[in-house]
A = this chain, B = another copy of it.
């Protein structure tokens, strides 16, 4: 039974606390923390945990064997570094930190500690569909992957959603999952600003067409369209030398009615990927219990930050912008 402390009791924190307490095996939430004591008390009510208002105290609590960080993004770095210093495994929701430099600092702290302690909450890798894709690709049954065509479509976004958030909040999922999926590294970023949909607010460029090129020579294109109206529609087709492999959409009944035959498309990311969150945290719990990290590492968090920065630059410049992460350290291979 892994004893976990959760830092940050907002919406996502509460979701994870429920998940850890009610759905997963082999884990117990023994402490929660929030700068707003009331929020922490409410969250503690879910699971009967100790309450802290300072994450540092929670990390220091000897009852806490591992830490889950669900505070606002800007606060992740501090808690993650504390956990590393304490030699405790830590699961940080994405982003690992809000700048590439901060991510780098975490990477260096972890390497200095000599132990694999940090996992970042990129849940797509735990989606069953991506797993099936990965399995086929690794079999090399259809040869080497050459290209990938993706879409990331949301039915609608909040008024506060900005053009940059198309990278930081939306593309970020493809940024993490695609290099894992194809086992390659990014080289450059390009963004084509498209004619806009009438359904976006004037400040927002929507849709955008984003292109990765990899060190191995692959091209990965992603249509990011966050006011597509019709659904939360995630597609990924990997073109290999002798066949193509396409992500399955979740299975729904096939309905014939009104002169058409149709299956459903999810309209909410939460329904589309809900199972992956369970799998992700269960996997982290199981691995943490064995003292290892299986999932996205601090290095992956750093790569995501550097790549996102390049795409934001490319949004503005209209040019192909290099993605420069430096050599992947031996420690993370």
Contact = CB atoms under 8 A, between A and B. Distances in A.
Contact of A250 (B25, B144, B242, B251): B251
Contact of A264 (B216, B242, B259): B259
A133 interface: yes
Contact of A229 (B218, B219, B242): B242
A207 B147 contact: yes
A248 B248 contact: no
Interface stretch (A37-45, A91-99, A192-200): A192-200
Nearest to A200: B241
Query: Which of A149, A229, A249 has the most chain B CB within a 10 Å cutoff?
Result: A229
Contacts of A142: 255, 257
A157 interface: no
A234 B128 CA distance: 21
A144 B242 contact: no
A97 to B, nearest CB: 32
A19 to B, nearest CB: 11
Interface residues of A, number: 66
A63 to B, nearest CB: 21
Contacts of A264: 259-260
B243 A217 contact: no
A85 interface: no
Contact of A194 (B218, B246, B265): B218
Nearest to A199: B241
A136 interface: yes
B192 A213 contact: yes
A25 B22 CA distance: 7
A248 to B, nearest CB: 4
Interface string A180-212: 000000000000101111110000000101010
3 closest cross-chain pairs (CB), A and B: A195-B217, A243-B257, A248-B251
Interface of A: 22-25, 128-129, 132-133, 136, 142-144, 146-147, 149, 192, 194-199, 207, 209, 211, 213, 216-219, 221, 223, 225, 228-231, 233, 239, 241-267
